[in-house]
Amino acid sequence: MTFEELGFIEPINKALKDMGYVEPTDIQHQAIPLVLQRKDVLGCAQTGTGKTAAFALPIIQMIHQKEIATKRRTTLRALIVTPTRELALQIDENIEAYSKYMPLKHAVIFGGVKKPAQIRALKGGVHILTATPGRLLDLMSEGYISLDDIKLFVLDEADRMLDMGFIRDIEKILKALPKKKQSLFFSATMPPNIVKLSQQILYKPIKVEAARVSSAAETVRQYVYFTNRTSKKALLQHIIKESELSQVLLFARTKHGADRICRDLKKVGMKAMAIHGNKSQPQRQKALKSFKDGKTPILVATDIASRGIDIDDLSYVINYDIPNEPETYVHRIGRTGRAGKKGRAISICEPEENQYVKDIERLMGKSITRIDDHPYPQTDKPMTAAEKKEWNKEKQLRKQQYFESRRKSRGRRPARSK
């Protein structure tokens, strides 16, 4: 099936041709006809499966046919709520591209930046609004946004939304929405709390599910270097210098770790910038733009901050810290080797992460190529007391972050730090 067979109007088909879209992905093929039929949809789909187009394209078409073509006044009809600034910006950029041949008005609002520019965009009239929960509620309380005329509501990345502690904000938004509306709900996972939330939002939903991501594209070559914890920094610098790597998206486990990696790279003359939740929105946008423009060859990111980073020609992904969830590894390396282009994924594994590599290989059903010919091989040498202390500190930090997110998702106050 092609996009033309899905029944889109000519301005949308023309925009899709410009973008090189030919065949819809699994989630798009399933969801788009249902959305166009005005059904509530419960979508289970990982990041990178094309779900933005699955809800944005039919929403644009319906608003064009019912609002723009009939020359009604510009009224806010569609609300898309997503957890992070990067995702909000990416969704709005996609809406811009999909609607380039029609006079549709859209805007994006998120925290971390000043409000005046966002308020001006809202005052100019908007058909589709993409928002993060906090800034949306702020502008609603100040009288700049009314949800009374919303006909289409999308909750994107619902599981991440709850992990980040937005459950109370979502409940407030739901109360402000009209009872009669079409709702679309997308989540990568469906644990009981997500199912319960979907039941509050959807009316007789039809469930669609994209195939579970268990392997990267065949165009991605995967390599793993086994080393010791004390040698990781030196090995990373060796790999980048030896292979003269550029345009590298490098993943760190924590925000603190991302900053430390950046400092270490800069000390040896390598240009790098970090993007994570502690950075202000202008800082994050500056880092991302510099990376996309080729001015900064290395971008260090955490998993949450990386959601929304969409670069078609990304050459390399490096896992400085190997994730303990195999699916996260697949999502990370899936950012390279897109659209039939070649990509390379490199992982640096310390002894405590050996099991993570085995879990990843089990999920993918194949082995990752080992690179043994390097100056910092992994040995059986145990960690020193200082290394063990640092490892336990990071482990405790990850554990604390997990429980803080669980408290927030249940509406409890965060525990006081000692």
Q: 5 vs 46, which has greater pLDDT?
A: 5
More confident residue, 234 or 336: 234
Side chain identity at residue 158, one-letter code: A
Among 212-216, 243-247, 288-292, name the one with the lowest average pLDDT. 212-216
Asked if the model's pLDDT at residue 409 lies above 60, the reply is no
pLDDT tens by residue, 73-115: 789 999 999 988 878 888 998 899 999 999 999 999 998 888 9
Distance CA 96, CA 117 (A): 18
Confidence class of residue 227 from pLDDT cuts 50, 70 and 90? Answer: very high
Q: Is the pLDDT of residue 403 over 80?
A: no
Mean pLDDT value of segment 241-258 = 89
CB atoms within 10 A of CB 161: 24
pLDDT score, position 151? 96
Comparing 328 with 204, which gets the higher pLDDT?
204
Residue among 72, 76, 73 nearest 130 (CA): 76
Residue 194 pLDDT: 87
CA angle at 285 for the pair 282 and 289, rounded to the nearest 5°? 140
pLDDT surpasses 50 at 135: yes
160 pLDDT exceeds 90? Answer: no
Measured CA to CA, the distance from residue 346 to residue 242 in angstroms comes to: 13
Tell me the three state secondary structure of residue 159. Answer: helix
Tokens in use for 60?
């644009």
| 277-334 tens-digit pLDDT | 777 778 888 898 899 888 999 999 987 666 556 676 788 999 999 987 787 788 888 8
Domains and CATH numbers, the chain: 3-209 (3.40.50.300), 220-388 (3.40.50.300)
Give residue 86's pLDDT. Answer: 77
Q: Which two tokens stand for residue 90?
A: 């990416």
DSSP 18-41: HTT--S--HHHHHHHHHHHTT--E
Reported as a pLDDT band with limits 50, 70 and 90, residue 153 is: very high
Higher pLDDT, 246 or 339: 246
pLDDT at 93: 87
pLDDT cut 90: percent of the chain above it:
52
pLDDT digits (tens, 9 = 90+) for 328-357: 788 888 888 876 678 899 999 999 899 999
C-alpha angle with apex 41: 16 to 214, nearest 5 degrees?
70
pLDDT at 43: 92
Identify whether the C-beta of residue 307 lies closer than 8 Å to the C-beta of residue 335. no
Q: What integer best gives the mean pLDDT of the chain? A: 86
SS3 sequence, 263-289? Answer: HHHHHCCCCEEEECCCCCHHHHHHHHH
The confidence score (pLDDT) of residue 85 equals 82
Helix axes 281-292 and 85-98, enclosed angle (nearest 10): 60
Please state, for a pLDDT cut of 70, what percent of the chain lies above it: 87
Per-residue pLDDT reduced to its tens digit, 96-107:
999 999 999 999
Higher per-residue confidence, 174 vs 379: 174
